[in-house]
Amino acid sequence: MDHRCKLLHLFLYFLLSASFFMHTHSSEDYNRQPPRPLILTWHHGTDSDPQQVHISMVGKDHMKISWVTSHEHVKSMVEYGKRSGKYEASATGEHTSYQYFLYRSGKIHHVTIGPLDAKTTYYYRCGGSGQEFKLRTPPSTFPIEFAIAGDLGQTEWTASTLAHIGSKDYDVLLLPGDLSYADTQQPLWDSFGRLVEPYASQRPWMVTQGNHEVESFPVIFPHGFKAYNSRWQMPYQQSGSKSNLYYSFDVAGAHIIMLGSYTDFDASSDQYTWLKADLEKVDKSRTPWTIVLIHAPWYNSNSAHKGEGESMRLSMEEMLYNAGVDIVYAGHVHAYERFTRVYDNKADQCGPVHVTIGDGGNREGLAMMFEKPSPRISVYREPSFGHGRLKIFNETHAHWSWQRNNDSNSFAADEVWLSSLSYSSACCKNSSFKCTPLTTQKDEL
């Protein structure tokens, strides 16, 4: 890395770290830690060595390998196999780059490999030389476990969250927006990619965008998402979407829908039309669990970002309710909050559980101010950093836990057993989706 680039990184470090000392937090219930400093992660290899490696699912048995090189002549090729150092197959892909004012990205490679066997470890090498990586594919049937973290950023709290995520096994990571907190400072996208590489190179990371990914600028970059769309390409075409900002995918017996809070979502929009068609294609006999991720929460008792998701809720909530969506995860608010099953601002046993989990470690600190008294539909809320775990055991039952960050270990501060709406007698009776009522099923809220 040249001298000018290092100076730019150091300037960004001091600029963004300065805000950390402007926050003071207090709480009656728990002694919460203040924000922690920004981490800048450097590349220590050669210009040809892969960096910022991350993987994402493509269809039922393929995986996209994405990485960056400083050298422009490195091939967009991945060799892979089931034994270390023995690469029985290879695939070639495409590459891109982008310019943002004076910043020009490295060569961004995207290569799709497969077909791959389910729940199998593969070893792979990017660009024909250099470091070997390994990944594990998700299972094709239950059980399956998701790690869920929003508003990550790249602070010491982020590193803590990632370490806690990596300390226990999981199959797929879901991220409801706000990845790098680069906020137009493009070298921070590179730093973020290096920070998450040890985790994102081993398990698929499926992400959607947040407000910090927009990075629009009048006239020059009016549409935004230039860095996000170049670096974090998700499998939107496979679900019939026209945009990388919203898509869906199936894994094991779950249908996951990633929605865009910062692209058009009214009834005349492409996203609305796509969502309607996507929900109509869901086969509950194949994917009994339906999970949605957004960024701006539709339900929120915190004073931070109050009401920012309301217009999207009014546009799309009825569709999700009629389709029997089980859970909606959101970020944006830098705290944790779990609601009961809810629809149209009222408790409803046939509505989804809404969970805000925007507490991954961002540089802006925690959102401390919850309204009092707590709304009856809000079951648990706490302004602390952490991540979540959703383990779906079978067609009918799943376990959700929120893991609060402590200094050395994560602590399960909130947990609940959930029942799939696909097998709820009460909800199947009046549902517009195909389901199979078993018994009177209730969540242990």
The answer to whether residues 78 and 65 touch, using CB atoms and an 8 Å cutoff, is yes
Active-site residue, selected from the candidate residues 9, 295, 305, 334:
305
| Distance from C-alpha of 173 to C-alpha of 204, rounded to nearest angstrom | 6
Total residues belonging to the chain: 445
Q: Taking the mean position of all CA atoms in its chain, how far away is CA 359? A: 12
Contact assessment for residue 157 and residue 385, using Cβ atoms and an 8 Å cutoff = yes
CB atoms within 10 A of CB 311: 14
CB 291 within 8 A of CB 252: no
Distance, CA of 74 to CA of 66 (rounded, Å)? 13
**Strand 247-251 to 132-136 pairing:** unpaired
Burial of 356 (0-12, 13-18, 19+ CB in 10 A): buried
CA 285, 291, 292 angle in degrees (round to 5)? 135
Q: Is 305 a catalytic residue?
A: yes
Kindly give, in sequence order, each residue whose CB lies less than 8 Å from that of residue 16, ignoring residues fewer than 6 positions away: 38, 185, 363
Instruction: Tell me which amino acid residue 314 is.
Output: L
Catalytic residue ranges:
305
